Each structure stands twice: as structure tokens, then as C-alpha cells.
Amino acid sequence: MAEYDPDNIFAKILRGEIPSTKVYEDDDTLVFMDIMPRADGHCLVIPKTPCRNLLDASTEQLASVIAVTQKVARAVKEAFDAGGVTIQQFNEAVGGQEVFHLHFHILPRHSGVALRA
Ligand code: 5GP
């Protein structure tokens, strides 16, 4: 397992070094809008503590991130009048991960509308 890089872009968002559009925040978790949304309402859920990806996560980090993912998924489904919600999560570059701080994508879905590239 590779090391956690404290200068990854989401760590900088957590430290307030670069801006983000916050959706939800509690002691353990931050949710913000994806900068290149693949669906209207596309947002990202991250733990506030260092964690490279799902393979590296503690039980406590997973529990809080999953609970917040469910809470925010329910809210954005209603807010965007979506028919469903896709949750995505990638691990390591080969697995499609681009930012190396654990995150879950929340993607509201509408019938007949594909995710944008
Ligand atoms: P993944 O690592 O799951 O493949 O993708 C990382 C996600 O982070 C992408 O959907 C990308 O658009 C998003 N992202 C990358 N840089 C930034 C940023 O500076 N701000 C925000 N809000 N999202 C970002």
C-alpha cells in the first residue's frame, strides 16, 4: 500500500487551502460538489482524517463515511428529483482513482440520462 500524500487536492480542501462548494459537514466528514460534475448534483464524501482509499480505511472512517453517504444520497435524490442514485468509489490508479484521499461519489440519476464523461 502506498503512503498517504498530505498534499493531495482533497487534503488541501480540508485545510481550506483551496476552495470548495460545501454540501454537508460534521466532526468526521465533509461533502462538497465535484468540480467536473458527471451528473447534476454530483458530490463527493470524504473523511476528515488521512486515508488513501477504501483499502486503507479504518472501520471508524468507513462507518462515518458510509452513514453520511446514505444521508446525503437521500437528500440529493429528493433535491434533484432523481429516480435513483449511483454511488462510485475507486481504489488506486489502476482501479480508476485520481485523487488519493478516500472519497465516495454521489451521482443523482434520471431515467434515460447517461453520466457525462
Ligand atoms: P476519482 O479519484 O474518484 O477518480 O476522481 C476524483 C474526482 O475529484 C473527480 O470526479 C474530479 O472531478 C474531482 N476533483 C478533482 N479535483 C477537484 C477539485 O479541486 N475540487 C473538486 N471539488 N473536485 C475535484
Please give the pLDDT value at position 38: 98
Give yes or no for residue 12 CB within 6 A of ligand 1: no
Cα separation of 20 and 33, whole Å?
7
- For residue 90, how many C-alpha atoms fall within 13 Å in the half-sphere facing its CB? 12
pTM of the model: 0.98
Give yes or no for residue 2 CB within 6 A of ligand 1: no
Q: Which of 99, 83, 80 is nearest to 91 (CA)?
A: 99
Q: Is residue 100 classed exposed, middle or buried when 0-12, 13-18 and 19+ CB atoms within 10 A define those classes?
A: buried
Tens of pLDDT, residue by residue, the chain (117 residues): 789 999 999 999 999 999 999 999 999 999 999 999 999 999 999 999 999 999 999 999 999 999 999 999 999 999 999 999 999 999 999 999 999 999 999 999 999 999 999
Please give the pLDDT value at position 88: 98
Please give the pLDDT value at position 2: 85
Ordered by start, the domain boundaries in the chain are: 9-109
Residue appearing with cell numbers 431515467: 111
DSSP string, 18-81: S---EEEE-SSEEEEE-SS-SSTT-EEEEESS---SGGG--HHHHHHHHHHHHHHHHHHHHHTT
Pick the CATH number of 9-109 from 3.30.428.10, 3.30.110.60, 3.10.129.10, 3.10.105.10: 3.30.428.10
CA–centroid distance, 44 to ligand 1, in Å, is: 8
Q: Tell whether ipTM is more than 0.95.
A: yes
